Amino acid sequence: MAIAAGFTNSYLHISQTNPALGDFALVVGIALALGFYLLSILIVRHAFHMGETELKGKRRDVTLGGGTFIMVWVLVSVVLNTLWGH
- pLDDT tens per residue across all 86 residues of the chain: 888 888 888 887 776 666 777 778 778 888 989 999 889 888 877 777 777 777 777 777 677 778 888 899 999 988 988 888 65
Rounded Cα distance between 6 and 29, Å, is: 9
Quick one: pLDDT at residue 36?
Answer: 92
- What's the one-letter identity of residue 31? A
Residue 65 burial by Cβ neighbours in a 10 Å radius (0-12, 13-18, 19+):
middle
Quick one: pLDDT at residue 72?
Answer: 92
Give the pTM: 0.74
